[in-house]
Amino acid sequence: MVMTVKKIAVAALALAAALAMAAPATAQPGGDYRYQGGGYGGGYGLQLQGLLVDSAKQQLASAGYHAARNIRYDGRQYDLWSNGRGRNSCVGFTSYKGAVTDVRTFSDSECGVVSGGGGGGWGGRGLDPSDLNGMRVDDAKRNLRDHGYSNTRNVRLNGKQWDLWLDNRGRDCIGFTSYKGTVSAAQPFRGNECSTNGTPGYGYSIDARDLQGLSVDQAKRSLADAGFRGARNIRIGGQQWDLFYDNNGRSDRCVGFTSYNGRVTDADDFSPRDCR
């Protein structure tokens, strides 16, 4: 049988179609496997899906993220990374055989981060000290670092230890106190209270124990800030005590301290009669 050119062409097309139908199906992605940051992390559009775990961690670190914690979600372990300044401040990924298999965002509370990243909050900035209340201490410290704060010193106020943090411009000071690893209170302080020359105590009801360990000059300024004035000196047990009286008469208190080599070694409350 002689086939025309037209018949041959038609037969070839039919064969090609049959082969295409018989070929095994190729799996199609169920969605965009790239994790698009939408400008978070300083403009990075992170593409973590399919990367080796170490490479994914490097990308996250370069975008300003810090390892937060591991959690189990949907039967899998996710490594959570936080960036308090990022639009998506809590990002997690899971992996299999050393490669990232899934990436998604999580709530700020899962990472223990403060949301925002600029605007609003205390003084128009992203971090409001009250946002730290109830956080784990490690999470609070990470948030402060993410927002450009550095720990400068610890002080005692009202019988509690406060960790003071100063922002990178040297202006704003935030302090927090904690109990059993959890922040129990956080609030702004004066900028100079974060420095070693500052005098904590302004605006507080002085607890004499707060003065221990301060330089004599710091102790005097701290008492003056709280409304006390120098009263007189007395000797007790071979030691000289400097007494200060509540100048405004708000509490009718007398507070005294003793010192050695320019530093307060002991401080206590005295009878108001001792100051007069």
Q: What is the pLDDT of residues 56-81, one digit of tens each?
A: 999 999 888 888 888 888 889 999 99
C-beta neighbour count of 193 within 10 angstroms: 24
Position with higher pLDDT, 40 vs 176: 176
What pLDDT does residue 21 have?
Answer: 40
Torsion angles phi and psi, residue 97, rounded to 5: 55, 40
Whether residue 99 is predicted with pLDDT greater than 60 in this model: the reply is: yes
The C-alpha atoms of residue 256 and residue 261 are separated, in whole angstroms, by 17
Whether residue 120 is predicted with pLDDT greater than 80 in this model: the reply is: no
User: Which range, of 26-40, 146-160, 202-216, 250-264, averages the lowest pLDDT?
Assistant: 26-40
What topology is assigned to 208-275 in CATH?
A: Beta-lactamase Inhibitory Protein; Chain:B, domain 1 (3.30.1450)
Q: Is 110 helix (H, G, I), strand (E, B) or coil?
A: helix
Instruction: Report which residue type is found at 204.
Output: Y
Position with higher pLDDT, 243 vs 47: 243
What residues contact 44, with CB distance under 8 A and at least 6 apart? Answer: 37, 59, 62, 63
The mean per-residue pLDDT over the stretch 160-172 comes to 85
Whether residue 30 is predicted with pLDDT greater than 70 in this model: the reply is: no
The mean per-residue pLDDT over the stretch 244-262 comes to 81
Highest average pLDDT, of 17-26, 50-59, 204-213, comes from 50-59
Which of 200, 174, 195, 196 minimizes the C-alpha distance to 185? 174
What pLDDT does residue 199 have?
Answer: 52
Is the pTM of the predicted complex or chain greater than 0.95?
Answer: no
What pLDDT does residue 250 have?
Answer: 53
Q: In the block, which residue shows the tokens 């047990």?
A: 237
Position with higher pLDDT, 131 vs 61: 61
C-beta neighbour count of 237 within 10 angstroms: 6
The C-alpha atoms of residue 124 and residue 172 are separated, in whole angstroms, by 12
What pLDDT does residue 74 have?
Answer: 85
What pLDDT does residue 122 have?
Answer: 43
What pLDDT does residue 92 have?
Answer: 92
- Beta strands 149-157; 160-167: pairing state: antiparallel
> Please, what is the average pLDDT of the chain?
75
What pLDDT does residue 157 have?
Answer: 74
What topology is assigned to 122-194 in CATH?
A: Beta-lactamase Inhibitory Protein; Chain:B, domain 1 (3.30.1450)
Contact status, residue 223 vs residue 248, Cβ threshold 8 Å: no
What pLDDT does residue 135 have?
Answer: 85
